[in-house]
Amino acid sequence: MLVFAILAAACSSPDRRYTLRGQITEVAPDHTQVTLKHDDIPGFMPAMTMAYFVTDPKELEGFAAGDLVTATIVVKVSTPYLTAIKRTGHAPVPEETPKPHAMDILQPGDTVPSVAMTDQSGKAIAFSDWRGQVLAVTFVYTRCPMPDFCPLMDRNFAAVQSAIARDPALRDRVRLVSVSFDPEHDTPAVLRAHAETLGADPRIWSFVTGAPDVIASLTGKFGVSTIRESDPAKTITHNLRTAVIDPAGRLVTVHTQNDWTPDALVQEIRAARDRR
Ligand SMILES: [Cu+2]
């Protein structure tokens, strides 16, 4: 999270702030995250239970489930975070508190849903079509202006593709998949042009898109959050997820930031290939 905050600070795009009012339902033991059941946040999101990061774990010192609070949500180029958390009261956490959205996120060992997608050639495709292969999946959009976000994922996948192409033990047994969370703009034709620019080998690396609701649900399950800045959106505020899926279609590992290296991902791909 700190990495995101620093990157965000370096970016020229101004941050947006919203006031949140709600009840804490859970504080992460390491104080990096807090789950709140909050009221409507006009202009940002409806009332819901959701987990938020804080930039400094000290912000959560002394807070516990049940605390009624106000806080400021800061939305920069990455995951929103909370600051200026103030206690306004305390009440028992209602029994029927819905599970926070974070709980809908796939966990290691879970089978990844095989939703209908379309690849860069316009062909219908689903993750299950690649059963028997290890998948490395990342989430991007082609217009991303942040060099250390989607463009970095593209560069890293290009490096992983080279490693796969060089290694007979990985060739034909690994598929790289870049999922666009901007399906309105990233049509198969746009993805194909983008793939060609990157030197993507269609035998190894696929770019996929799909119906907006299908893609939104899929990206959400991986913990990808996207916020459109305007309508029609050119810039999408988003976080990153890069996952390795084993040959049986189960989630193995997920990177939640941009600090992974191509070498490390290749090691994870090898380990996943050898799983039974
Ligand atoms: Cu991006």
Q: From ligand 1's centre to the CA of 239, what distance in Å? A: 8
- Tell me how far the alpha carbon of residue 15 lies from the centroid of ligand 1, in angstroms: 16
Of 58, 77, 102, the domain-final residue: 102
| 234: containing domain | 117-273
- Confidence bin at 60 (pLDDT 50/70/90): very high
Q: Angle formed by the axes of helices 150-166 and 262-273, to 10°?
A: 50
Residues 135 and 199 in one domain: yes
What are the counts of helices (DSSP H) followed by strands (DSSP E) for the chain?
5, 14
The reply to whether 21 and 149 lie within a common domain is: no
What distance in angstroms lies between residue 141's CA and the mean position of ligand 1's atoms? Answer: 6
Query: Across the chain, what does the average pLDDT equal?
Result: 86
Distance 63 CA to ligand 1 centre (A): 33
| 106-128 pLDDT, tens digit each | 889 999 999 999 999 999 999 99
The CATH code of the domain that includes 259 is: 3.40.30.10
Statement to judge: residues 205 and 260 lie in one domain:
yes
Q: Which residues have C-beta within 8 Å of that of residue 122, sequence separation ≥ 6?
A: 188, 189
Interval between CA 65 and ligand 1 midpoint (Å)? 34
186-218 per-position pLDDT tens digit: 999 999 999 999 999 999 999 999 999 999 999
Q: How confident is the model at residue 3 (pLDDT cuts 50, 70, 90)?
A: very low
**SS (HEC) of 182-194:** CCCCCCHHHHHHH
Whether 18 and 82 share a structural domain? yes
In a domain, 156, yes or no: yes
214 CA distance to ligand 1 middle (Å): 19
Q: Are residues 73 and 169 in the same domain?
A: no
**Which of 72, 102, 132 is the last residue in one of the domains?**
102
CATH number of the domain where residue 81 is located: 2.40.50.320
Backbone φ and ψ of 38, nearest 5°: -115, 160
107 domain-assigned: no
Q: What is the pLDDT of residues 164-178, one digit of tens each?
A: 999 999 999 999 999
Spatial distance between the Cα atoms of 121 and 116, rounded to a whole number of angstroms:
15
CA of 151 to the centre of ligand 1 (A): 7
Q: What is the pLDDT of residue 87?
A: 93
- In the reported structure, the alpha carbon of residue 237 is separated from the centroid of ligand 1 by a whole-number distance in angstroms of 7
77 plus 149 within the same structural domain: no
Query: Considering the domain boundaries, does residue 205 fall inside one?
Result: yes
pLDDT in tens, 216-236: 999 989 988 887 766 565 778
Which has the higher per-residue pLDDT, 16 or 121? 121
Distance 11 CA to ligand 1 centre (A): 13
Domain count, the chain: 2
Q: Are residues 95 and 160 in the same domain?
A: no
Are 92 and 124 within one domain? no
Q: How far is the CA of 26 from the centre of ligand 1 (A)?
A: 30
Same domain, 74 and 142: no
Q: What is the amino acid identity at position 167?
A: D
Residue 7 placed within a domain: no
The last residue of one of the domains, among 102, 127, 152, is 102
Residues 24 and 53 both lie in one domain: yes
Regarding whether 122 and 94 lie in a shared domain, the answer is no
Give the Å distance between the CA of 69 and the centre of ligand 1.
32
